[in-house]
């Protein structure tokens, strides 16, 4: 059985995107009126309220559009059931289906004995889901978790992924033909460990639901698990403690960018305590965009939550153009100063000394490690009449390149 993804250009999505663009045009017009009134030092309260109302409506419409796009990204069964080319995979899928519906693990045990690719059974009766279902969940997770979508993701087979890092390159120098060649410094190496932490979900279903032959077990499991996993992952990749969860980039030691050193992330100040600077607020956003080296800036992405984005949406550059722009089509990220924006709701709101905006090349700066296999333990006893599915996934993460990510601190300096 093959999966296909719904197209992102359905009439419903196109209509929602058109409404969003129309609302953004209304917002720009209302905000232009507000700025004109401010220049005359006679800002109308009604105009301020209108701008805030349209801005909130933009957020609501963007949230509705994101929901439609997420639903469209979920895999649905193809109307044409094609024969599986891999007999073992088809057998495993059928065996797993019987395990989920009836608790029959016999076929899974037999598959474990006859194949080198273990079904993953253990003493507590848990089994690794077939690869089709695992890739289904991972594909939806990539849509729901903004950091996972922009970071580097590695599959690992052990408990810890160890990565050597060159923190400084080899020294070189120019010499004349007959000059002495003194020994140069060798590269400095460091090792960063990324342990896999355990993430779990425990959806429940009634035996009647499981007995219903029309139920698509793969779709049901992916739908139940993806939301919980994506929410937990998203929070951990931003502010996880590194002990029981992946280490978030905001948990790292953060210093002023002028004092930056390896194992620390640098920040640019916004220019005011808990706010943007009252004059030329765009300047420090530009400074943040140019804080990473050009090699990282080329693939840079902004990371912030919707509230922060709604504040920036009002800003213009020196030529009178808005620095924030919606995506060119449904499903494309909005841009800020020409770079895409990833909306991460786990980023903190703007407040005194908050780190509410991140910018950089997250593919080179942040690493996510997935321990191969999503495991399911079927429990029909603990919550009768429901059958619980204790689903676990081992995920780790952390900063792998401290040069590639910069932050904005909402402070005067």
Per-residue pLDDT of 150-176, as tens digits, reads 999 999 988 999 988 877 666 777 888
Tell me the percentage of the chain whose pLDDT exceeds 70.
82
Report which listed range, 51-55, 208-212, 353-357, 387-391, is most confident.
Answer: 353-357
Per the model's pLDDT, the better-predicted residue between 165 and 390 turns out to be 390
CATH number at residue 240: 3.30.2400.10
- Which pLDDT band holds residue 242 (cuts at 50, 70, 90)? very high
Per the model's pLDDT, the better-predicted residue between 28 and 210 turns out to be 210
Residue 40 predicted with pLDDT over 70: no
Burial of 55 (0-12, 13-18, 19+ CB in 10 A): buried
In a domain, 352, yes or no: yes
Residue 84 predicted with pLDDT over 50: no
Same domain? 63 vs 159? no
Residue 82 predicted with pLDDT over 80: no
Q: Give the pLDDT mean for 332-354.
A: 95
Residue-level pLDDT at 178: 85
Same domain? 44 vs 103? no
Residue 371 predicted with pLDDT over 80: yes
Same domain? 69 vs 90? no
In a domain, 333, yes or no: no
In a domain, 174, yes or no: no
Read off the pLDDT of residues 104-137 as tens digits, 9 standing for 90 and up.
888 777 665 444 333 344 445 578 888 777 877 8
Residue-level pLDDT at 329: 74
Residue-level pLDDT at 167: 73
Question: Among the three residues 111, 126, 141, which one is the final residue of a domain in this structure?
Answer: 126
Q: Give the pLDDT mean for 196-211.
A: 91
**Helices (H), ranges, 7-154:** 11-39, 45-73, 87-102, 106-114, 131-144, 146-150
Read off the pLDDT of residues 296-337 as tens digits, 9 standing for 90 and up.
999 999 999 999 999 999 999 989 999 999 887 766 889 999
Residue-level pLDDT at 65: 64
Q: Is 273 helix (H, G, I), strand (E, B) or coil?
A: coil
In a domain, 179, yes or no: no
Same domain? 138 vs 108? no
Same domain? 212 vs 361? yes
Spatial distance between the Cα atoms of 135 and 151, rounded to a whole number of angstroms: 17
In a domain, 323, yes or no: no
Q: What is the pTM of this model?
A: 0.80
Q: Contact 82/225 with Cβ under 8 angstroms?
A: no
- Burial string for 21-42 (b: 16+ CB within 10 Å, else e) reads eebbeebbebbeebbeeeeeee
In a domain, 320, yes or no: no
Residue 264 predicted with pLDDT over 50: yes
Residue-level pLDDT at 321: 93
Boundaries of domain holding 399? 129-167+188-305+344-413
Residue-level pLDDT at 70: 59
Residue-level pLDDT at 236: 96
| Average pLDDT of every residue of the chain | 83
The sign one gets for the Cα dihedral 71, 74, 78, 81 is negative
Residue-level pLDDT at 23: 78
In a domain, 393, yes or no: yes
Same domain? 113 vs 47? no
Provide the residue count of the chain.
413
Closest by CA to 368, choosing from 259, 261, 229, is: 229
Residue 7 predicted with pLDDT over 50: no
- Which pLDDT band holds residue 225 (cuts at 50, 70, 90)? confident
Same domain? 218 vs 255? yes
Same domain? 283 vs 265? yes
Same domain? 20 vs 58? yes
- Which pLDDT band holds residue 9 (cuts at 50, 70, 90)? low
Residue-level pLDDT at 286: 97
**Helices (H), ranges, 197-302:** 207-211, 217-239, 282-289, 294-297
Same domain? 295 vs 403? yes
Question: Among the three residues 73, 94, 118, which one is the final residue of a domain in this structure?
Answer: 73
Burial of 73 (0-12, 13-18, 19+ CB in 10 A): middle
Structural domains in the chain (count): 3
Per the model's pLDDT, the better-predicted residue between 408 and 76 turns out to be 408
Same domain? 136 vs 100? no
Residue 397 predicted with pLDDT over 80: yes
In a domain, 354, yes or no: yes
Same domain? 100 vs 238? no
- Which pLDDT band holds residue 69 (cuts at 50, 70, 90)? low
Residue-level pLDDT at 115: 41
Least confident range from 52-61, 142-151, 247-256: namely 52-61
């Amino acid at each position: 059985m093959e999966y296909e993804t719904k197209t992102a250009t359905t009439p419903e999505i196109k209509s929602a995107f058109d409404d969003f663009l129309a609302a953004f045009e209304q917002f720009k017009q209302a905000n232009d009126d507000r700025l004109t009134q401010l220049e005359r030092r006679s800002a109308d309260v009604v105009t301020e309220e209108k701008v805030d109302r349209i801005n909130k409506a933009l957020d609501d419409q963007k949230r509705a559009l994101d929901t439609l796009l997420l639903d469209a990204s979920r895999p649905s069964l193809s109307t044409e059931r094609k024969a599986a080319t891999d007999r073992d995979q088809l057998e495993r899928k059928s065996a797993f289906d019987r395990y989920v519906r009836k608790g029959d693990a016999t076929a899974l045990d037999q598959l474990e004995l006859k194949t080198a690719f273990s079904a993953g059974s253990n003493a507590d009766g848990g089994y690794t889901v077939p690869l089709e279902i695992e890739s289904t969940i991972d594909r939806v997770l990539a849509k729901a978790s903004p950091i996972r979508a922009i970071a580097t993701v590695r599959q690992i087979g052990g408990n810890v992924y160890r990565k050597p890092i060159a923190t400084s390159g080899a020294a070189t120098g120019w010499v004349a033909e007959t000059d002495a060649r003194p020994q140069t410094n060798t590269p400095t190496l460091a090792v960063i460990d990324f342990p896999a932490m355990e993430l779990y979900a425990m959806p429940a279903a009634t035996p009647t639901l499981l007995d219903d032959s029309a139920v698509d077990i793969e779709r049901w499991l992916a739908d139940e698990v993806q939301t919980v996993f994506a929410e937990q992952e998203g929070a951990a990749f931003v502010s996880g403690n590194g002990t029981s969860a992946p280490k978030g980039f905001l948990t790292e030691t953060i210093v002023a960018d002028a004092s930056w050193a390896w194992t620390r992330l640098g920040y640019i100040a916004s220019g005011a305590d808990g706010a943007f600077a009252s004059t030329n607020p765009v300047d420090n956003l530009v400074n943040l965009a140019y804080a990473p080296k050009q090699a990282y800036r080329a693939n840079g992405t902004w990371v912030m939550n919707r509230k922060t984005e709604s504040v920036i949406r009002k800003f213009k550059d020196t030529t009178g153009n808005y620095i924030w722009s919606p995506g060119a089509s449904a499903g494309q990220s909005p841009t800020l100063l020409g770079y895409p924006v990833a909306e991460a709701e786990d980023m903190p709101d703007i407040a005194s000394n908050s780190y509410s905006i991140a910018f950089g090349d997250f593919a080179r700066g942040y690493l996510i490690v997935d321990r191969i296999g999503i495991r399911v333990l079927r429990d029909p006893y603990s919550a009768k009449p429901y059958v619980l599915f204790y689903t676990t996934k081992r995920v780790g993460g952390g900063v792998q390149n401290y040069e590639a990510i910069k932050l904005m601190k909402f402070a005067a300096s």
